[in-house]
Amino acid sequence: MYTRNNVSTRQNDVLLFFRKLPFVCYKLPLVIPTVYLNIPFVINNKKNNGFTLIELVITLTIIGILLGVVAPNMSTFVLSNRLTTQGNEFIADINLARSEAIKQAGNVGICASSTGTSCTGSWQSGWIMFRDGDSSLTWTATTDSVLRTHESLSGNNTLSGPTTIVVFNTSGLLANSAAAGNFTLCNSQSGKSRVINIQATGRPSLSSGAC
């Protein structure tokens, strides 16, 4: 009787133990990870290359201020640079005509030319360098030849002088004495000028002045 009861009791214990087995897997661990509780943070690596309205207004304002300050100075710089360049070109052609007269042992001159083939018009229309083959101190279509041409002056610049023709002899001196004096290259917009002075010896010099 005791044995049966004992066995019976053990059987009940075994059955009771197996009833609890399904509930073992539901027990939580002592340390609970919190990673799964965090929401993933997505970083947007795309750059925004646009401007906001405030940035655009500020940029345009700065550009407007800079243009207001720089534009007048830039205009003055351009006019002054053009005046200097044209003055240097004129005096360079004078020096070249003088040296060619010495080298070729004959008269060489520069004269105002609007056509590029003969001595006509005013200095601002352009000029030519020619060899005075008949030593007439003027342009002669049948005997003279064009050595070099220069286009008309840009920027509304004007060039005036005692004569519209300058001729050098074989010694490099002025063959026509009337050409001695000042040739003024002027820009009325800036009120500045470049003065080319040709002496009787044929040597030119350059200086600045006012119109």
pLDDT tens profile 134-184? 999 999 999 999 999 999 999 889 999 999 999 999 999 999 999 999 999
Of the pLDDT bands very low, low, confident and very high (cuts 50, 70, 90), residue 57 is confident
Q: Is 107 inside any structural domain?
A: yes
Q: How many domains does the chain have?
A: 1
Q: Which domain holds residue 164?
A: 84-210
Q: Is 156 inside any structural domain?
A: yes
Q: Is 5 inside any structural domain?
A: no
Note the pTM of the prediction, 2 decimals: 0.67
Quote the tokens at residue 17.
């133990």
CATH number at residue 196: 3.55.40.10
Residues 192 and 211: beta-carbon distance below 8 Å: yes
Residues 168 and 202: beta-carbon distance below 8 Å: yes
The H or E element containing residue 181 is strand 181-187
Q: Is 53 inside any structural domain?
A: no
Q: Is 190 inside any structural domain?
A: yes
Question: What was the pLDDT predicted at 77?
Answer: 84
What is the CA 210 to chain-centroid distance, rounded?
28
Measured between alpha carbons, how far is 164 from 111 in angstroms, rounded to an integer? 5
Q: Is 35 inside any structural domain?
A: no
Quote the tokens at residue 182.
């000042």
Q: Is 145 inside any structural domain?
A: yes
* Predicted confidence (pLDDT) at residue 18 exceeds the cutoff of 50: no
Quote the tokens at residue 91.
């005096």
Q: Is 180 inside any structural domain?
A: yes
Q: Which residue has the tokens 């002054």?
A: 80
**Percentage of the chain lying above the pLDDT 70 cut:** 74
Residue 46 is classified by DSSP as -
Residues 111 and 128: beta-carbon distance below 8 Å: yes
Residues 174 and 202: beta-carbon distance below 8 Å: yes
